[in-house]
Structure 1
Amino acid sequence: MSQYDEGHTVAGWTGTAIATIGSAVLGAGICTVSAALIAGGLGITAASVLVTWALHLAGWGKPPGVRPRGQWRMGARDLTARDGHAECWGCRLAGRGRRTAVVASEVVPVAVGEPEPAAAEAGR
């Protein structure tokens, strides 16, 4: 197995199988010059992308990068998928995994033992 465990997921294998079928139908359509088979093959191939994405969002895919060795088996479900993965385009397209910056309004650091700026101005 590779260090990164690429593609060893239910989502990866399912998407690959559907895309292979779609490619075969598309190829048959091109060889027989059949518009129906060409359209069907393109539809099946597009469906493979959507099925893979849905399975990834359901936790049957994997986040980008290295997973712990205990989660390398084929049927390992990713329990963190609900919150989204930080660097995952699929999660971002679904509105998950976005890291929003917290905007602070004029935070003034105060050292311990010194009065707060508002209290110092009120005493003047």
Structure 2
Amino acid sequence: MVATDEGHTLAGWTGCALAAIGAATAGLGIIGWRPGIWLGPALLALAALLTWALHLAGWGKPPGPRLRGQRPIGVRDLTASGGHADCVGCRLAGRGARTVASR
């Protein structure tokens, strides 16, 4: 059986958790905790970079349908080194290419 499970990856959950902490820290900075003004945005930038690095390492999967064996969060995507079709993150890293249909 094939099903879509967008974002259920180690890269997605790690980036989301760190971004939530960064946003909360920035919010504390706005209401008066001065270190939060700089620490919050730094954590947000770190979340983006960490998510991208994990995706490129195979812990993020391409969008769309996946087989049942590829759906669990702890399953690494072994095709990540070649890049995912239509993936901006992979293209920024110099991997993969656009498909003809997306041009």
Shift of 1:100: 9.2
Residue number in structure 1 paired with 2:38 = 39
- 1:78 equivalent to 2:82? Answer no
Q: Distance in 1 between matches of 2:97 and 2:38?
A: 35
Shift of 1:31: 0.7
Shift of 1:33: 6.0
Q: Distance in 2 between matches of 1:96 and 1:80?
A: 11
Shift of 1:94: 0.3
Point out the structure with the larger strand share.
2
Higher relative contact order (CA 8 A, sep 6+): 2
Unpaired runs of 5+ in structure 1?
102-124
Unpaired runs of 5+ in structure 2?
none
The number of residues matched between the two structures is: 98
Residue number in structure 2 paired with 1:24 = 24
Instruction: State whether residues 86 and 98 of structure 2, in contact with CA within 8 Å, keep that contact through their aligned partners in structure 1.
Output: no
Point out the structure with the larger helix share.
2
SS at match of 2:31: helix
Q: Deviations over 1:24-54 (max 9, x none)?
A: 11000001162x3111100100110000000
Q: Distance in 1 between matches of 2:8 and 2:99?
A: 31
Moved over 2 A (4+): none
Residue 48 of structure 1 aligns with an amino acid whose one-letter code is A
Scaled by the length of structure 2, the TM-score of the pair is 0.88
Structure 1 pair 100–61 and aligned structure 2 pair: CA distance change class (3 A): closer
Q: Distance in 1 between matches of 2:86 and 2:63?
A: 7
SS at match of 1:67: strand
Scaled by the length of structure 1, the TM-score of the pair is 0.74
* Rg larger in structure: 1
- 1:88 equivalent to 2:91? Answer no
Identity of counterpart residues, as a percentage? 61
